[in-house]
Amino acid sequence: MAEITMIEAIRQAMDEELARDENVFIVGEDVGQRGGVFRATVGLFDKYGGERVIDSPLAEASIVGVGIGAALYGMRPICEIQFADFIHPAFNQIINEAAKMCYRSNGDWTVPMVIRAPYGGGIGGGLYHSQSLEALFTHTPGLKVVVPSSPYDAKGLLKSAVRDPNPVLYFEPKKGYRLIKGEVPEGEYTVPIGPANVTRAGSDLTVFSYGMMHHYTLQAAETVAKEGIDVEVVDLRTLYPVDRDTILKSVRKTGKALIVHEDNLTGGYGGEIAAIIAEGAFSDLDAPVRRLAGPDVPAVPFSHPMQDWFMLNPAKIAEAIRQLARY
């Protein structure tokens, strides 16, 4: 197995799916000859041509609308939103059309499409290039919401998303594009959408996270392990539908739960995980469920010191683990 970056794993997945199925195509801003703003599609235009790797105008509603229409006619579009922050103009298309098409047609029409969106802060992007918007979509039945945390999962989950008969929101932690590296098999494989993954077994408490925060959580777990705190780490991977069984099994084992995400605290996805634990494992808890998340301010500041204040990191996560362990 070769060690590659997350962005390379994403590119491999798209390359393999384009080669496997002639109905797969990519559409988005600068995805063609330029290879995308993050170079996710580098080389694919030259390999597959402009009819399958399509540069779009700066019009997210049109990117998604084209994808929905093509999917209804049997194609399998991969729609790239350049930054997740720009997905709002396509909100109506995603929520009222893509998510509801199968339901409103009594299963006659399906929308097999993927919407890729780089999300998250920590790159100096300021207000409009740093947002975490996953919670806006996990409230919508008819969608699947996926967030990979490793190159292995990034490739396997994206291939599963392309083959899924439902619309899949595929949020990519852009800070980890080149920072997170891992081994990826050269042969064919997929990672199923739905199951969470226990990436570190432990006995004292459980930390639930996803995306870049999962990468930081693993680092924090190793730090506190030297202090005698044995942390179990669960990578949620799929936010909707969420893996309730793995969540409850882990909490029943450790008795304590910390939920980590970089989105704002209030209304953030961590509240859903906390509710699942409260409803299904309340009597197993030895401490209140804790959440560690971004502060309730409108967006990640552009100022680098203020960005550091806003963003979580391994040290902040380690301190939250210590506090929960002492309870």
pTM above 0.75, yes or no: yes
Instruction: Tell me the mean pLDDT in the region 221-232.
Output: 98
Residue listed under structure tokens 């709002």: 88
Average pLDDT, the chain: 97
pLDDT at 247: 98
Domains and CATH numbers, the chain: 2-184 (3.40.50.970), 197-326 (3.40.50.920)
Q: At what angle do helices 6-20 and 151-163 cross, to 10 degrees?
A: 30
pLDDT at 156: 98
* Percent over 90 (pLDDT), the chain: 99
Instruction: Tell me the mean pLDDT in the region 300-316.
Output: 96
Who's near 150: CB < 8 A, 6+ residues apart? 6, 180, 182, 215, 235
pLDDT at 182: 97
| Strand boundaries in the chain, DSSP class E | 2-5, 24-28, 53-55, 76-80, 114-119, 144-146, 168-173, 181-184, 197-200, 205-209, 231-235, 238-240, 257-264, 290-294
Helix (H/G/I), strand (E/B), else coil: 281: coil
The tokens of 161 are what? 């998303």
Phi, psi of 54 (to 5 degrees): -110, 120
pLDDT(259) > 90: yes
Active site residues: 129
pLDDT at 1: 83
pLDDT for 191-208, tens place per residue? 999 999 999 999 999 999
